[in-house]
A and B are shown apart, each in its own frame.
Chain A
Amino acid sequence: MKNRISWRVATVTAARWETSSARTLVLDVPDWPGHLPGQHIDVRLTAEDGYSAQRSYSIASAWSAEAGSPDAGTVELTVQRLDDGEVSPYLTDVVEPGDRIELRGPVGGWFVWREKQTAPVLLIAGGSGVVPLMSMIRARGLARGRQPFRLIYSVRTPEDAAYADELRRRVREDPGLDVHFVYTRKTPDGWPAPPKRIDVATINSHGWPPDFQPDCYVCGPTAFVETAADILVALGHDPKRVRTERFGGA
């Protein structure tokens, strides 16, 4: 069947730590059809006795449609380890380059950003919810997009921020990209405010005014997404322009 989303066997070609508990896997996927930033894949692990477990992971990398691009079959995932989890500790601590992993996708057609969208964009990430939003930032960078982008990224401590160096570099090099961090447990030295959770004031001062009709993308643990999306609606953003992705958990 033409539209079938079938399982593929990907090979892990590289892995790197983004923080002490989040790891990026670089996968080589044969015949990868390409993806839009925001989409996810499903991973399937199978034990020797046939038991299997599946989980969804957002794609962190951007995809280039350019013919012959060496990255055409490359998909990067960033997995946050949950200590009592079944799948995530395997992906962060057991998998090594050379291992093969089954996956299928890309999946999802709503929580995506397309280059042809011209509106300003507000990205709001809680923890590992930054992954699909990073794909959007990277896709914009690849396309040399000029749409104004703002990322509000909530992390527990400065050490928990994934992609910190790349974000710093992109803020310098990608025109029209802003990043604001929210620290919930510990701030960097010299930070002007004590740790706090994302609130109306943060989104009001570091997002876009509703009048600009920005496209908003909110991603992270369910409770975080509920809070941030409610604030956006309360501030007057059109609910139809607020797209959410809930990763689960408390």
Chain B
Amino acid sequence: MGIISRGFGGRRREPQPGLPPGQYLTHDFPVLSAGPTPRIPLDKWNFSIVTETGEKHSWNWAEFTALPAEEFTVDIHCVTKWSKFGTTWKGVALDTLFEDVESAADYTMAHSYGGYTTNVPLDDLLDGKAWVVYEFDGEPLHPEHGGPARLIVPHLYFWKSAKWVNGLQMLNDDEPGFWETGGYHMYGDPWREQRYQGD
């Protein structure tokens, strides 16, 4: 426990099951990104998985949205301290995208329009743990929130859920992405408060 802040009571003391340490609950949907919001026309959109041997699997918008999709509801936790419960998304499970991918690599780097990258271990993307989504709350995903499509990895801090995602590069070794290079944690588990390097 830290030092006591004289005269600080705190307001949000209702116990909140489902809220990781250091987080507070919000009902709006804050936006976090490092630059302007890219606008990607759907006829230019493409998503690909590139293995460590250079083999490429790719989908255009029509192909992607024709894949079996799932609707799911999850809690999300942003490293800037807000959490939002019960967000509903629709998209394609990574299990579906990896069905025909042959790879022995354990790590991935997600790439986005605009140049953003973030690293996620492959295990954290499979077995129903992650999706590439294109709807939020029954509506097409707004560009501010990562549309046309974004990654959703709800069990990690939300910066791992790359907005405007356009591909995954398989890697034999874990490498830092954009925020990770700036001092954020390589893995980012909100339940262990892995905000920054060394946490």
A: residues with CB less than 8 A from B are 1, 3-7, 9, 42, 44-48, 50-56, 86, 90, 94, 99-102, 104, 107-111, 222, 226, 229-230, 232-233, 239-240, 242-244, 246, 248, 250
In the bound assembly, the distance between CA atoms of A248 and B33 in angstroms comes to: 11
In the bound assembly, the distance between CA atoms of A47 and B183 in angstroms comes to: 28
Residues on the A chain within 8 Å of B36, using CB: 229-230, 232-233, 239, 242, 244
Interface of B is mostly: loop
Report the stretch among B10-18, B59-67, B88-96, B121-129 that lies at the interface: B10-18
Residues on the A chain within 8 Å of B8, using CB: 45-47, 90, 94
Residues on the A chain within 8 Å of B2, using CB: 7, 44, 46, 52, 102
Residues A239 and B32 in contact, CB atoms below 8 Å apart: no
Bitwise interface map of B from 4 to 25 toward A, beta carbon under 8 Å scored 1, else 0 = 1111111111000000001010
Residues on the B chain within 8 Å of A7, using CB: 2
Interface of A is mostly: mixed
Interface CB pairs A-B, < 8 A, 21: A3-B197, A4-B197, A4-B198, A4-B199, A5-B198, A7-B2, A45-B5, A45-B8, A46-B8, A47-B8, A47-B9, A50-B1, A53-B12, A54-B81, A56-B81, A107-B182, A107-B196, A109-B181, A222-B30, A232-B36, A246-B30
| Interfacial residues of chain B within 19-61, with CB under 8 A of chain A in the complex | 22, 24, 28, 30-38
A103 to chain B, nearest CB (A): 10
Residues B7 and A94 in contact, CB atoms below 8 Å apart: yes
Instruction: Give the residue of B10, B32, B144, B183 whose beta carbon is less than 8 angstroms from that of A109.
Output: B183
Residues on the A chain within 8 Å of B136, using CB: none
Residues on the A chain within 8 Å of B7, using CB: 90, 94
Residues on the B chain within 8 Å of A56, using CB: 80-81
In the bound assembly, the distance between CA atoms of A51 and B9 in angstroms comes to: 8
Residues on the B chain within 8 Å of A9, using CB: 3
Task: With CB as the reference atom, state the residue of chain A lying closest to B114.
Answer: A239
Residues on the A chain within 8 Å of B33, using CB: 244, 246
B120 to chain A, nearest CB (A): 20
Flag whether B115 is at the interface (Cβ < 8 A): yes
Task: With CB as the reference atom, state the residue of chain A lying closest to B193.
Answer: A54
Instruction: Give the residue of A109, A240, A248, A250 whose beta carbon is less than 8 angstroms from that of B35.
Output: A240
Task: With CB as the reference atom, state the residue of chain B lying closest to A107.
Answer: B183
